[in-house]
């Protein structure tokens, strides 16, 4: 066994161990560093030890390390400067770059394959090249649209009558042309490869365009799994074990996460992809149909209510991230705990803009993991809570998901906050959530609205409680 093979084995083991450690918040940071160290070992081993069939090493060290240096600087600065609210956008664009890399590998290797063969090629190699091209291109184009939606550059969900049939037609054309190219390869058919490339990019765009905001966490997870599969194709091409292992792990983890999130939303993946869930549809519910009125609550009344409560449950949402109020929220939690109040957090699987967004947000402030309740556990505990404080969450607590059959979110499991004795909702305004529909919860008898920026409201609330 050569030294490079041993280094690849070490890298693969660190990926597996790192992924295992990521499943626990207490070891997640160390797991991330361990996997990163394994990647460094694999990269350096490839650069200095790899030899082709003729015994030639890579060379071009200036170009290689120049690219690594630029990428490292850009990545480090982006990661350090990104705000927690922009984390989903960064995940999308980084994921898109992975897909683009896989597609470029396929483009380069196809040209090598064509120039190094006369009229015949290895069908297996050509199939893997096409698979990497298609999946990588779809992941890149789709991730860029997801980034645009999350970043606010794309304001509306783009859909038109018959779009689903057009998407299916493009996908079938991609698959048909790919099979034809593999079975009938010749220099004259090279243009088909680039047609497949363009159609794959187009499919990636049309695939994500109509998907609404409430489904964006699922889409990000799915595109991440696509990038992993595309990277695994590169591992097959280069017979690179560590690249293959990393791609398989990313693809499998992304796929499992996508399935789990779909199950948590009580929907199939097919329904997510073609349903435009949380898009530009409007619910027929809301104040106009119920005739309800909004009841406001003052900071002083909120402070008294929470101070003398036995149990308070906090429901974090994207509004908390926008206001960067996670530290103030943790301070409120500690203050209430010092007064003998039990405080817990109720986390919905698709709260925020990416998988685990709220968990990452709260972990940043060192909130104890045992205080984070998943949806099923939280729904069992709401009936024992004196106060539920909703901070910037909207769609994940909307009763329309259970009661309004005309609502685009009907059927999605929600946090059943109405089971608590009192519900206090902090929002900047009555503006609908990311799904674009009105929330009947705001008009219910148990609900009181506490308007304002989450960070300032929490800071003022902390002051009020301290003065009691």
| Per-residue pLDDT at 286 | 40
Would you kindly state where each structural domain of the chain is located, as residue ranges? Answer: 1-81, 84-280, 287-467
CA 333 to chain centroid, in Å, comes to: 27
Q: How confident is the model at residue 434 (pLDDT cuts 50, 70, 90)?
A: low
User: Ramachandran region of residue 436, left (φ > 0), alpha (ψ -120 to 50) or beta?
Assistant: left
Of the candidates 236, 225, 4, the residue with the CA atom closest to the CA atom of residue 109 = 236
Whether 395 is catalytic: yes
280 pLDDT higher than 80: no
Instruction: Please report, for residues 89, 377, 387, the alpha-carbon distance to residue 267 in angstroms, rounded to integers and kept in the order given.
Output: 25, 20, 30
The residue among 361 and 13 whose pLDDT is bigger is 13
The residue among 404 and 94 whose pLDDT is bigger is 94
* Three-class SS state of 173: helix
The residue among 187 and 220 whose pLDDT is bigger is 220
Return the DSSP state at 450.
E
* Catalytic residue (choose from 215, 395, 453, 460): 395
Mean pLDDT across 262-283 = 60
Comparing 290-294, 357-361, 369-373, 405-409, which segment has the lowest mean pLDDT?
290-294
The superfamily (CATH) of domain 287-467 is: TPP-binding domain (3.40.50.1220)
Q: How confident is the model at residue 279 (pLDDT cuts 50, 70, 90)?
A: very low
Comparing 26-30, 152-156, 240-244, 391-395, which segment has the lowest mean pLDDT?
152-156
The Cα–Cα gap between 106 and 132 comes to: 6
> What share of the chain in percent tops pLDDT 90?
52
DSSP 318-361: HHHHHTT-HHHHHHHHHHHHHTT-EEEEEE-TT-SSSTTHHHHH
140 pLDDT higher than 60: yes
The Cα–Cα gap between 291 and 231 comes to: 54
| Per-residue pLDDT at 247 | 93
Measured between its terminal Cα atoms, the distance across the chain in Å is 71
């Amino acid at each position: 066994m050569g030294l490079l093979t041993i280094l690849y084995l070490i890298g693969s083991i660190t990926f597996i161990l790192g992924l295992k450690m990521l499943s626990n918040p207490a070891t997640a940071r160390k797991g991330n560093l361990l996997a990163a160290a394994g990647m460094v070992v694999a990269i350096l081993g490839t650069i200095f030890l790899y030899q082709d069939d003729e015994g030639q090493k890579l060379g071009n060290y200036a170009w290689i390390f120049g690219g690594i240096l630029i990428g490292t600087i850009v990545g480090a600065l982006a990661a350090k400067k990104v705000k927690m609210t922009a984390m989903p956008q960064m995940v999308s664009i980084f994921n898109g770059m992975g897909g683009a890399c896989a597609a470029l590998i396929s483009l380069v290797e196809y040209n090598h394959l064509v120039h190094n063969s006369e009229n015949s090629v290895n069908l297996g190699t050509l199939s893997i090249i096409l698979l990497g091209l298609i999946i990588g291109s779809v992941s890149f184009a789709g991730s860029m649209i997801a980034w645009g939606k999350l970043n606010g550059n794309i304001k509306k969900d783009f859909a038109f009558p018959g779009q689903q049939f057009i998407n299916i037609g493009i996908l079938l054309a991609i698959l048909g042309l790919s099979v034809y190219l593999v079975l009938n390869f010749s220099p004259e058919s090279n243009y088909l490869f680039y047609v497949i490339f363009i159609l794959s990019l187009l499919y990636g765009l049309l695939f994500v365009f109509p998907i609404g905001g409430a489904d964006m966490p699922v889409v990000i997870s799915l595109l991440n799994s696509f990038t992993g599969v595309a990277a695994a194709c590169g591992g097959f091409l280069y017979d690179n074990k560590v690249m293959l292992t990393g791609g398989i792990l990313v693809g499998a983890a992304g796929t499992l996460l996508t399935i789990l999130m779909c199950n948590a939303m009580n929907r199939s993946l097919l329904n997510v992809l073609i349903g435009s869930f949380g898009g530009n549809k409007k619910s027929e519910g809301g104040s106009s149909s119920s005739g309800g009125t909004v009841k406001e609550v003052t900071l002083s009344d909120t402070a008294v209510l929470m101070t003398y409560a036995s149990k308070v449950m906090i429901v974090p949402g994207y509004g908390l991230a926008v206001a960067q109020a996670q530290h103030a929220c943790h301070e409120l939690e500690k203050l209430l705990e010092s007064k003998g109040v039990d405080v817990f957090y109720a986390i919905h699987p698709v709260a925020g803009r990416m998988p685990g967004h709220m968990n990452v947000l709260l972990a940043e402030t060192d909130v104890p993991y045992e205080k984070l309740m998943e949806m099923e556990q939280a729904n069992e505990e709401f009936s024992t809570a004196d106060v539920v404080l909703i901070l910037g969450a909207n769609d994940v607590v909307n009763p329309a998901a259970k009661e309004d059959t005309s609502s685009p979110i009907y059927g999605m499991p929600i946090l059943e906050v109405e089971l608590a004795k009192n519900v206090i909702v902090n929002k900047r305004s009555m503006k609908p959530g990311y799904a674009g529909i009105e929330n009947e919860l705001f008009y219910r008898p148990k609900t009181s609205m506490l308007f304002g920026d989450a960070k300032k409201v929490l800071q003022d609330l902390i002051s009020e409680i301290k003065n009691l």
